[in-house]
Amino acid sequence: MTAAPHISRATGDGRREANAATVLRTVLDHGPVARRTIAQLCGLSPAAVSRQCTDLVRLGLVRELPGLVESRGVGRPQIPIDLNTGTAGEHGTAGPVAGGIHIGVPVSTFGLMDLRGRLLARRHLSHGGPAAGDLPRRVADGMREFLDDSVRGRPLLGVGAALGGWVDPGLGTAVRHDALGWHHRPLAAELARGLGGTEVRIDNHARAIAQSEILFGRPAARRSLVHLFVGNVVDAALGIAGVVHQGPGSGAGDVAHLPVPDSTTPCPCGRTGCLEATVSNTAIALTAAGLGIVPEPDAFLVVDAAAAGDRRADRLLRRRARAVGRAVALLLDVLNPDLVVVTEHSSLLNPAYLEEIRGAAIGLSHVCGDPERIVSPHAGTAALPVAAGTILLNPLFRSPLTTIER
C-alpha cells in the first residue's frame, strides 16, 4: 500500500484533502469498488468516504458504474465507483488524461495516458544526434500536434516531461544534461510556453520510472525500490515508503561512475570500470560497430541483430547484462530494497537478458538470494512515456482537490 498522506493535525481543508487522496488511491488499487468497501479498506468512516466520493465525482476523477451493481447478501446494493477512464460518448463525462514526454538524445517519445497509467497513444520524434538549443521548442511543437491528434475532447490535466541527467523538479530546470549540453535550462517553462500555457512538470527519468512503479506497478515497489536506468545515460533512483528520494538540489541517483566489479573499461573521468562507461547504450553501440556487428554505432541495431540470430551481438548483450547485474548486486547490498527495477532495452524485449542480470546480481550479492526481486518495469517498452505522464499524475494522487482546482 502507498504510504497514507500526512494527516496529523490537519486543518479542516487539510483533512479533507488527505481523505480525498486516501479514497482516490484506494479506488486506484481496488476499483471498481463500492463505497462501503472503500471505507473498510482505508479505515475512513462511510460518511467521510461518501463525502469524498461526491467531491471526486464532481471533479471528474472517479465515476459511478451502474452497470456493475450486484444485489447479493444483506443491505442495499451499492453502485461501484472507479477511476474515470471513460471516453467521450460513454456513460458520464470523459475521463481526464495526462501527456508525457520522454526527451532522449536521438529521439523523444510522446505518450497520452489515463488515470490508471495506461498508455492510450504514443508517437516518436527523431531529432538525430546531440540536439541544438532549440530542442525544447521542437519537442513542444511535436507534442502539441500529438495532443491535437490524440486527446479527442477529454480534459487534459497537463504534461509531464522526463529526461536524463540532473533535473530539479521544484525549479523546473534541467540542471545538467551533458549529452544535450544543457546547464540550468528552464525546461518546464520553455515547454509550457511552447504548449500554449499547459501545465508542465519535469523530473529525471530514473526517478519518474521509480514513481510510476510506486503508483501503478507491483505492491512491493511501495515498500522500497531501487530503479536502475541503462540507456545512453545510466542513472538510478531510490524510493522508500512510497516516496522517491531527491536529496539536496535533487541530485540523488548519479551512479554513472559507480565502479563495476571486474570491469576495466576506461571512462572519460580518468578511472576505469565506471558503470556508465561499461554498460551504456553508447558504449555497447561503439563496441559492436568496432567489431563489425552493426554498420553504425546504434544500440537498437545491436538488439535487432541479436534478435535476428547474430551470436556475437547476443554475446555482447549478455556480457553487458552481467555487468549490469554486478552493479545491481552493489545496490542490493547497500540498500536492500524490496524490489530492483532495471530499465534496459534488450531485457525489456527478451527475458533471457533479464535472467543474465539476475544471475550476476544474485551471484555477487551478500543480502539477496531471490532473483524475483529484480524485475523489468511494469509498463515494459512503454515505461518511459508512462513515467513521464506519471510526473504529472503523481501530485494528483497526493492532493487531488487542490491539484484539480488549481
| Binding residues for Zn ion (CB under 5 A) | 257, 267, 269, 274
**Least CB distance to Zn ion at residue 258 (A):** 9
Q: By C-beta, is 268 or 380 nearer to Zn ion?
A: 268
Whose cell is 463500492? That residue is 34
**DSSP structural state of residue 94:** P
**Least CB distance to Zn ion at residue 274 (A):** 3
Q: By C-beta, is 32 or 259 nearer to Zn ion?
A: 259
Q: By C-beta, is 75 or 270 nearer to Zn ion?
A: 270
**Least CB distance to Zn ion at residue 306 (A):** 27
Q: By C-beta, is 230 or 401 nearer to Zn ion?
A: 230
| Nearest Cα residue to 340 out of 323, 354, 320, 322 | 354
List phi, psi (to 5°) of 57: -65, -45
Cβ atoms of 191 and 182 within 8 Å: the answer is: no
Q: By C-beta, is 267 or 316 nearer to Zn ion?
A: 267
Q: By C-beta, is 140 or 206 nearer to Zn ion?
A: 206
Task: Give the SS3 label for residue 201.
Answer: strand
- In sequence order, the 6+-apart residues with CB closer than 8 A to the CB of 246 are 169, 207, 252
**Least CB distance to Zn ion at residue 342 (A):** 20
Q: By C-beta, is 26 or 278 nearer to Zn ion?
A: 278
Give the integer Cα–Cα distance in Å for 165 and 167. Answer: 6
Give the integer Cα–Cα distance in Å for 244 and 233. Answer: 19
DSSP-assigned beta bridge partners for residue 227? 237, 341
**Least CB distance to Zn ion at residue 256 (A):** 7
For the record, the C-alpha cell of 279 comes out as 554498460
**Least CB distance to Zn ion at residue 404 (A):** 45
| Nearest Cα residue to 343 out of 203, 143, 164 | 164
CB < 8 Å & 24+ apart, contacts of 130-134: 130/105, 130/179, 130/180, 130/181, 131/105, 131/180
**Least CB distance to Zn ion at residue 320 (A):** 17
For the record, the C-alpha cell of 274 comes out as 565506471
